[in-house]
Amino acid sequence: MPAHPGLSIRGAQEEDPPDPQLMRLDNMLLAEGVAGPEKGGGSAAAAAAAAASGGAADNSIEHSDYRAKLTQIRQIYHTELEKYEQACNEFTTHVMNLLREQSRTRPISPKEIERMVGIIHRKFSSIQMQLKQSTCEAVMILRSRFLDARRKRRNFSKQATEILNEYFYSHLSNPYPSEEAKEELAKKCSITVSQVSNWFGNKRIRYKKNIGKFQEEANLYAAKTAVNAAHAAAAAVQNSQANSPTTPNSGFQMKDEEFQLDSAESKNTLLSNMFTGGYPAPCYQSDGRIQ
DNA sequence: GTCAATGATTTACC
DNA sequence: GGTAAATCATTGAC
């Protein structure tokens, strides 16, 4: 920019009071890693997305997808911002040149120049604000897509479901795993503890609602557990270790309440299984409590 | 495309 | 804070 006494655009730029809305937008863009220095494509936001989705390791593809899209937004934002700044400077220079031309034919006060530059900058600021606003919106949409866990729900692996079902049906009298048991199950199933809690919450309520429907499944897992128990017993006999007698489960109880086996058929089958060996024996914890 | 199954979330309760 | 119950949203079989 050519030096010209009294014709500087700096003054007007610095006198503008900070717009609170613009500051909010700037802060958000900074926090999301769109504005400011490159932070690995908004790794903070990606980490937030990971935390919100349960932290499972199975969504690394989604994360890289998220980062890629955020980088895209960042690139577009910076390109557009540069374009606006360049256009603003060019236009200001152009106006300054015109004023300089005019100053040959009429006196132009510094105040008038300042006013003109101010008008130009305000106009470009409002355009910049629109750009920042739409960038924020794009980031919000992107985040909502990746943060909404329901959108990227994945069914658990067959093995994980088997492990959970085995535990559920072998603890049918009290299907409330302790915190330690939940952690153990989570580890075995490669899911989070809260996912284990969710699974048991869903299972308990769905089992209770329709015991008949789950009868086949219950029998299947009961048989499975019985086979496992038989193998364990055989191993124990081999080791000449006497087993203490077990007591059959008294029935499914919801928390603090006797669980109603409202289907007589279900109850009969379950009871029949319990006493014919098809139904699993209660599982004792290390402290002797029935789980 | 439909529909049942299923994982996640929300709300209310204790 | 943990759970029951209702509900939402996606998946997967058909």
Our measurement of CA A103 to C1' B7, in angstroms, reads 73
- Residue A157 above 90 pLDDT? yes
A80-136 per-position pLDDT tens digit:
989 888 988 898 888 888 888 888 898 888 888 888 888 888 888 888 888 888 887
- Residue A143 above 90 pLDDT? no
Our measurement of CA A53 to C1' C9, in angstroms, reads 15
Our measurement of CA A276 to C1' C4, in angstroms, reads 32
Our measurement of CA A58 to C1' B7, in angstroms, reads 15
- Identify, with chain letter, the residue nearest to nucleotide C4 (CA–C1'): A205
* pTM (2 d.p.): 0.53
For A266, how many CA atoms within 13 A lie in the half-sphere containing its CB?
A: 19
Our measurement of CA A72 to C1' B2, in angstroms, reads 37
pLDDT computed for residue A272 by the predictor: 36
First-to-last alpha carbon distance for chain A, in angstroms, is 80
Protein residues in reach of strand B (CB < 7 A): A 52-54, 149-150, 153-156, 161, 194-195, 198-199, 201-202, 206, 213
The answer to whether the C-beta of A224 is closer than 7 A to strand C is no
- Whether residue A170 contacts residue A140, with contact meaning beta carbons closer than 8 Å, is answered with no
Q: Which nucleotides of B are covered by protein (CB under 7 A)?
A: 5-9
A161-174 per-position pLDDT tens digit:
999 999 999 999 99
A228-283 per-position pLDDT tens digit:
778 877 877 776 554 444 433 434 667 756 454 444 344 434 433 332 333 333 33
